[in-house]
Amino acid sequence: MFASAGRLAGKRLFEIRQIFAQSHPQLEARSSAFRSFSTALNYHIDSPDNNPHVTFDFTDANKERAKEILSHYPSNYKQSAVIPLLDLAQQQHGGWIPVSAMDAVAKIIEVAPIRVYEVATFYSMFNRTKVGKYHLLVCGTTPCMIRGSREIEATLLKHLGVKRNEVTKDGMFSVGEMECMGCCVNAPMITVADYSKGSEGYTYNYYEDVTPKRVIEIVEMLRKGEAPPVGTQNPLRKKSGPAGGNTTLLGEPKPPPCRDLDAC
Amino acid sequence: MGFGLRAIQASRSSSRVLSSPNPSYFRSISSTPDLQNPESAAAASSPEPPPRNPLAGARVHFRSPEDAIEVSVDGFPIKIPKGFTVLQACEVAGVDIPRFCYHSRLSIAGNCRMCLVEVEKSPKPVASCAMPALPGMKIKTNTPIAKKAREGVMEFLLMNHPLDCPICDQGGECDLQDQSMAFGSDRGRFTEMKRSVVDKNLGPLVKTVMTRCIQCTRCVRFATEVAGVQDLGMLGRGSGEEIGTYVEKLMTSELSGNVIDICPVGALTSKPFAFKARNWELKGTETIDVSDAVGSNIRIDSRGPEVMRILPRLNEDINEEWISDKTRFFYDGLKRQRLNDPMIRGPDGRFKAVSWRDALAVVAEVAHQVNPEEMVGIAGQLSDAESMMALKDFLNKMGSNNVWCEGNGMHPQADLRPSFILNTNIAGLEKADAFLLVGTQPRVEAPMVNARIRKTVLATHAKVAYIGPPTDHNYEHEHLGIGPQTLLEIAEGRHPFCSTLLAAKNPAIIIGAGIWERKDKDGIFSAVETIAKLGKVVRPDWNGLNVLLLNAAQAAALDLGLVPESANSIESAKFLYLMGADDVNLEKLPGDAFVVYQGHHGDRSIYRANVIFPASAFSEKEGTYENTEGCAQQTMPAVPTVGDARDDWKIIRSLSEVAGVRLPYDTLGAVRARIRAVAPNLLHTDEREPATVSHAIKPEFYQKISMTVFGTAVENFYMTDSISRASKIMAQCSATLSKKK
């Protein structure tokens, strides 16, 4: 009896999926992987620009910064600096960390390279494959998804003519997905990691309340080298306030009633 | 409580009243002291659960009485030392907690969650492997909460585990299989697709099927902590998590085979054993390894006449529960290059198989034609004590005393036992806080001793200093120098290491047996003894002056007095009896010398032999081996001998009869009785005889020390004896793993 019930349930589930796929053909086609993983492969494949024999070295300015980062930690806990140093390497190397950069970080913090690989593969913010000068990260978590982040991503991908985690031919843009970045009140949002100016001019900006139309404008502004205004893109809103101005708390807030000291 | 139990209790209390003079007669065993006096025992009539015995391996050792805390496991009170975890407390109480990631010899990870138990007043089930037991803790392991927790964890573990048990080599000895039968649910609710993971190439020994991995990280911790090669890691996160090396890299450790044993599932299995046999078809024989001088305890799993695999046995004093890769994988050499029949080299230079009768007659005839002082016998590095005794007795009866064991050099110090064994004992090395390694690379010479040193270095930050050619030790060490120059500097007290040595409480000096091959070895040994005197290395309560032997036969040979009479006997030899000796230099042997080779493998010496006697290998005979710490152990026959081969001592016994000098023993027991007269300690198996004489009574040597640097005793870890040289797996290993150095 259980078996037949189970089969029935499975069949029903399949039907629901079919219906869903028919009503959102575009969505189903895009999330073709059954379980999508945010990161790339968890192992390294040698390529001409990414193999252990490519030399990677921090620039002189970044060597100073690395020294400064290491000074934050006790000398016997150098390995604590692994994340800031990987971040620095990523900024210097145009937004991604080749395996030789991980080896270089391992040398600085005096651990086995595998301990750095573990950290670099764990955090999805570390890119281990090439990204564009402007890495566009679309938030895909529930509030943003409800407010249309999937359309945002589809628009970006269509406009740039790439797939997710692919770089445009001119090397300018790549689109990735990031989980909740804490802007749910201004959903949907995208983040632009700007690696075009190295680690000195590196920025990581939030563009909130975006619409499919607005993200294309933002991309085009970035392409021209302009700096789109960060924060909410809804002209009616100010930061995370309500559209059209405040509706409550307009006057001076009343102070809390004083405790009746005599009652004690 | 059943009726029967009630009746027993009733009769117990009534009998106590009747036989009051002897109240302890019927008292039941219980650990709480208040229950031990008869009054309270009589008062405590409430049903108590039967006491259980601690699980195998659970040992309780209280450093001081106030260290003990009392917890209750399933309502049964037990005393455990402070610092025990809840899981260890349960083990002492005799309750087996299922676990995957927890391993008593590795650090605690706490990531499989299989060991969840209920603890009273704790809001959630706790992971017992990572939770320290606290006084008065009430642990419950068989409550509905604990059972449900295990079932839930098991369902998650099986979510991504493939259902390929029928084709999995771990099947039948798989922790996941066993525990899902014992603690899992009979069905799962998972309807999605299973995850799949790319297999990793870890070299010729370890086969990986990473889809089966349950991410317990035992192998990562083993590689990092015990083997000392930080190659494996946990990559990725969440459901995409996998074990790997990230970059293409082989596992270049001499202990890598142990990850096969500690893997609780079939993710890491033995590559040479893959699809060869099922574990329930195999017959296990508990025996001793002979590939190095450690004498690791092993179990040979055989099917019919074939050795299928070799596994470690637990011996806390020698190999703990690890074995080296050579021990584990050289078994396929036992099937290749074997000598089956007695053979005589004909006039055309080719060997011809003959009968034992003919071969023995030819040898006996030649032996009588030469002068006694021109007879030489050399025992090989795999010889057991019984056959070495027979060889020595035979040559002595023929009038010659030129008999020795290869590796011991021409002037071994056989008279004083402490001068050729590891006096500290392998387990005792854990108490040392400073090591001085002189001309030895324990990592390739004795990996299990090296694992002990590494364990000590990691646990207590003991200092290690090394004198010898550059090599990679897998622990932090100071390379003092490459030759005897440094040794003399320390002996004269003008080396910075002297302060470390003097500051150390239990210093240990380990000298490699490779030094015995040097001409100036007495000088070097006296220099080391000066250092020992300087650093108070040998005291009544601590003997830190050690020799690390290279092969299994050495210690027993020295105990039996296999010492050559003349150092130049090979140059003048007319009759050479090689008992499995393949590493002797025969270049200086006169061309007309008659060479008898008795052994199990057609190895190096066979090219010079005139007559071949086929003998049995260590897996096929009962023999006594003494390891480097002077502990005698016995091998047991696991498989029958091949062809017409015989045990070594039996061959020599028959030869003696044909030659007319019959040896007075016909059985193994009689050989051992003869050994008892020479070296009784060889019969005290599994016991360590402490050194009774000290180094102080040794005559002083003032030999000139040459300044030649120390050499490496073991060039290729994977090929050191005739069995490993015949092994295909070892050949693959030395081709892929050792070329990187």
Residue B312 CA to residue B451 CA, distance in Å, equals: 15
Query: Tokens 């006296």 label which residue?
Result: B526
- Of the listed ranges B84-98, B492-506, B695-709, the least confidently predicted one is B695-709
Kind plus residue range of the DSSP H or E element containing B403 = strand B403-405
State yes or no: pLDDT of B661 exceeds 90. yes
Please give the pLDDT value at position B505. Answer: 93
Query: What's at B687, amino acid-wise?
Result: E
- Pick from B199, B202, B247, B740 the residue to mutate for testing the A interface (most A CBs within 10 Å): B247
Residue B195: list chain A partners with CB under 8 A: 35
- Is the Cβ of B369 closer than 8 Å to some Cβ of chain A? no
Please give the pLDDT value at position B472. Answer: 87
By Cβ distance, the residue of A13, A37, A52 closest to B240 is A37
* Helix/strand/coil percentages in chain B, nearest 5: 35, 15, 50
State yes or no: pLDDT of B338 exceeds 70. yes
- Of the listed ranges B33-42, B385-394, B536-545, the least confidently predicted one is B33-42
pLDDT band at B192 (very low <50, low <70, confident <90, very high): confident
What values do phi and psi take at B2, rounded to 5? -75, 170
**Quick one: average pLDDT of B187-211?**
91
Task: State whether B235 and A118 contact (CB < 8 Å).
Answer: yes
Please calculate the CA angle B678-B419-B313 and round it to the nearest 5 degrees: 75
State yes or no: pLDDT of B401 exceeds 70. yes
State yes or no: pLDDT of B216 exceeds 90. yes
Please give the pLDDT value at position B721. Answer: 93
By Cβ distance, the residue of B192, B232, B236 closest to A121 is B236
- Is the Cβ of B585 closer than 8 Å to some Cβ of chain A? no
CB B243 within 8 A of CB B215: yes
CB B333 within 8 A of CB B727: yes
Please give the pLDDT value at position B611. Answer: 96
- Is the Cβ of B190 closer than 8 Å to some Cβ of chain A? no
Name which of A82, A194, A176, A57 is nearest A125 in CA terms. Answer: A176
**Quick one: average pLDDT of B226-252?**
91
Interface of A with B (CB under 8 A): 10, 13, 34-35, 37, 39, 42-44, 46, 52, 99, 111-115, 117-118, 121-124
Residue B475 Rama label (left phi>0; alpha psi -120 to 50; beta): beta
Quote the mean pLDDT of chain B: 88
- Is the Cβ of B477 closer than 8 Å to some Cβ of chain A? no
State yes or no: pLDDT of B4 exceeds 80. no
By Cβ distance, the residue of A44, A114, A122 closest to B230 is A114
Residue A35: list chain B partners with CB under 8 A: 192-193, 195, 239
Quote the mean pLDDT of chain A: 86
B422's tokens: 């590891």
Give the 3-state secondary structure of residue B611: strand
Query: What's at B517, amino acid-wise?
Result: E
pLDDT band at B33 (very low <50, low <70, confident <90, very high): very low
Distance from CA of B473 to the nearest CA of A (A): 15
By Cβ distance, the residue of B193, B232, B244 closest to A42 is B244
Residue B198: list chain A partners with CB under 8 A: 43
Distance from CA of A48 to the nearest CA of B (A): 15
DSSP-derived pairing of the beta strands A231-232 and B68-73: unpaired
Task: State whether A42 and B248 contact (CB < 8 Å).
Answer: no
pLDDT band at B251 (very low <50, low <70, confident <90, very high): confident
CB B395 within 8 A of CB B375: yes
Please give the pLDDT value at position B696. Answer: 59
pLDDT above 70 as % of chain A: 84
pLDDT band at B31 (very low <50, low <70, confident <90, very high): very low
Residue B521 CA to residue B505 CA, distance in Å, equals: 28
For residue B486, how many other CB atoms are within 10 A of its CB? 21
Query: What's at B544, amino acid-wise?
Result: G
DSSP-derived pairing of the beta strands B375-379 and A134-139: unpaired
- Pick from B190, B235, B243 the residue to mutate for testing the A interface (most A CBs within 10 Å): B235
Distance from CA of B598 to the nearest CA of A (A): 49
pTM over the 0.90 mark: no
Query: What's at B229, amino acid-wise?
Result: V
For residue B140, how many other CB atoms are within 10 A of its CB? 17
State yes or no: pLDDT of B19 exceeds 70. no
By Cβ distance, the residue of B234, B239, B247 closest to A118 is B234
Please give the pLDDT value at position A104. Answer: 95
Task: State whether B236 and A39 contact (CB < 8 Å).
Answer: yes
Task: State whether B237 and A44 contact (CB < 8 Å).
Answer: no
Distance from CA of B450 to the nearest CA of A (A): 21
Residue A10: list chain B partners with CB under 8 A: 191
- Is the C-alpha dihedral spanning A149, A150, A155, A160 positive or negative? positive
Each residue of B595-650: pLDDT tens digit? 999 999 999 999 999 999 999 999 999 999 999 999 999 999 999 999 999 999 99
Distance from CA of A209 to the nearest CA of B (A): 30
Residue A37: list chain B partners with CB under 8 A: 238-240
**Residue B236 CB-density burial (10 A; 0-12 exposed, 13-18 middle, 19+ buried):** buried
Kind plus residue range of the DSSP H or E element containing B146 = helix B144-159
B267's tokens: 């993710």
Each residue of B152-186: pLDDT tens digit? 999 999 999 999 999 999 999 999 999 999 999 88
- Is the Cβ of B191 closer than 8 Å to some Cβ of chain A? yes
Residue of B nearest to A122 (CA): B236
Task: State whether A114 and B233 contact (CB < 8 Å).
Answer: yes
Residue A44 CA to residue B152 CA, distance in Å, equals: 34
Distance from CA of A163 to the nearest CA of B (A): 21
Each residue of B670-708: pLDDT tens digit? 999 999 999 999 999 888 877 666 655 566 666 678 888
Distance from CA of B245 to the nearest CA of A (A): 7
Please give the pLDDT value at position B664. Answer: 94
By Cβ distance, the residue of A46, A114, A123 closest to B245 is A114
By Cβ distance, the residue of B235, B238, B241 closest to A43 is B235
Task: State whether B239 and A37 contact (CB < 8 Å).
Answer: yes
**Quick one: average pLDDT of B36-41?**
43
Residue B307 CA to residue A95 CA, distance in Å, equals: 55
Please give the pLDDT value at position B317. Answer: 92
CB A122 within 8 A of CB B236: yes
Please give the pLDDT value at position A15. Answer: 59
The set of residues, in sequence order, having a beta carbon less than 8 Å from that of A3 and lying 6+ positions away, is none
Task: State whether B247 and A112 contact (CB < 8 Å).
Answer: no
Distance from CA of B482 to the nearest CA of A (A): 26
Task: State whether B235 and A52 contact (CB < 8 Å).
Answer: no
Residue of B nearest to A52 (CA): B247
Residue B230: list chain A partners with CB under 8 A: 111-112, 114-115
Residue A112: list chain B partners with CB under 8 A: 230-231
Distance from CA of B445 to the nearest CA of A (A): 25
pLDDT above 90 as % of chain B: 73
Name which of B392, B407, B401, B364 is nearest B613 in CA terms. Answer: B364
Please give the pLDDT value at position B6. Answer: 44
- Is the Cβ of B225 closer than 8 Å to some Cβ of chain A? no
Residue B42 CA to residue B507 CA, distance in Å, equals: 56
CB A185 within 8 A of CB A178: no
Each residue of B353-380: pLDDT tens digit? 999 999 999 999 999 999 998 999 999 9
Exposure string over A91-125, b if 16+ CB within 10 A, otherwise e: bbbbbbbbbbbbbbbbebbebebbbbbbbbbbebb
Residue A124: list chain B partners with CB under 8 A: 237
CB B393 within 8 A of CB B565: no
State yes or no: pLDDT of B669 exceeds 50. yes
Kind plus residue range of the DSSP H or E element containing B534 = helix B521-534
Q: How many Cβ contacts (< 8 angstroms) between chains A and B?
A: 65
State yes or no: pLDDT of B462 exceeds 60. yes
State yes or no: pLDDT of A28 exceeds 50. no
Q: What is the 3 state secondary structure string of A145-201?
A: HHCCHHHHHHHHHHHHCCCCCCECCCCCEEEEEECCCCCHHHCCEEEEEECCCCCCC
CA neighbours closer than 13 Å in the CB half-sphere of residue B412 = 28
Task: State whether B200 and A43 contact (CB < 8 Å).
Answer: yes
Distance from CA of A262 to the nearest CA of B (A): 43
- Return the axis-axis angle of helices A99-109 and A113-122, rounded to nearest 10°: 120
Distance from CA of B232 to the nearest CA of A (A): 7
**Residue B531 CB-density burial (10 A; 0-12 exposed, 13-18 middle, 19+ buried):** buried
Please give the pLDDT value at position B50. Answer: 59
Please give the pLDDT value at position A260. Answer: 75
Please give the pLDDT value at position A13. Answer: 55
By Cβ distance, the residue of B238, B246, B248 closest to A117 is B246
The set of residues, in sequence order, having a beta carbon less than 8 Å from that of B700 and lying 6+ positions away, is B526
pLDDT band at A9 (very low <50, low <70, confident <90, very high): low
Task: State whether A117 and B235 contact (CB < 8 Å).
Answer: yes
What values do phi and psi take at B658, rounded to 5? -65, -35
Residue of B nearest to A126 (CA): B236
pLDDT above 70 as % of chain B: 90
Please give the pLDDT value at position B45. Answer: 43
pLDDT band at B520 (very low <50, low <70, confident <90, very high): confident
CB A228 within 8 A of CB A203: no
- Of the listed ranges B48-57, B62-71, B233-242, B285-294, the least confidently predicted one is B48-57
Each residue of B109-122: pLDDT tens digit? 999 999 999 999 99
**Quick one: average pLDDT of A191-219?**
93
For residue A235, how many other CB atoms are within 10 A of its CB? 8
Task: State whether A117 and B247 contact (CB < 8 Å).
Answer: yes
The secondary structure of residue B517, as a DSSP letter, is G
pLDDT band at B51 (very low <50, low <70, confident <90, very high): low
The set of residues, in sequence order, having a beta carbon less than 8 Å from that of A107 and lying 6+ positions away, is none
State yes or no: pLDDT of B28 exceeds 90. no
**Residue B344 CB-density burial (10 A; 0-12 exposed, 13-18 middle, 19+ buried):** middle
Q: What is the 3 state secondary structure string of chain A?
A: CHHHHHHHHHHHHHHHHHHHHHHCHHHHHHCCCCCCCCCCCCCCCCECCECCCCCCCCCHHHHHHHHHHHCCCCHHHHHHHHHHHHHHHHHHCCCCCCHHHHHHHHHHHCCCHHHHHHHHHHCCCCCCCCCCCEEEEEECCHHHHHCCHHHHHHHHHHHHCCCCCCECCCCCEEEEEECCCCCHHHCCEEEEEECCCCCCCCEEEEEECCCHHHHHHHHHHHHCCCCCCCEECCCCCCCCCCCCCCCCCCCCCCCCCCCCHHHC
Query: Tokens 């024999």 label which residue?
Result: A53
Please give the pLDDT value at position B678. Answer: 93
Kind plus residue range of the DSSP H or E element containing B623 = strand B623-626
Residue B448 CA to residue B416 CA, distance in Å, equals: 25
Residue B391 CA to residue B652 CA, distance in Å, equals: 7
Task: List residues bridging with A178 in a β-sheet.
Answer: A139
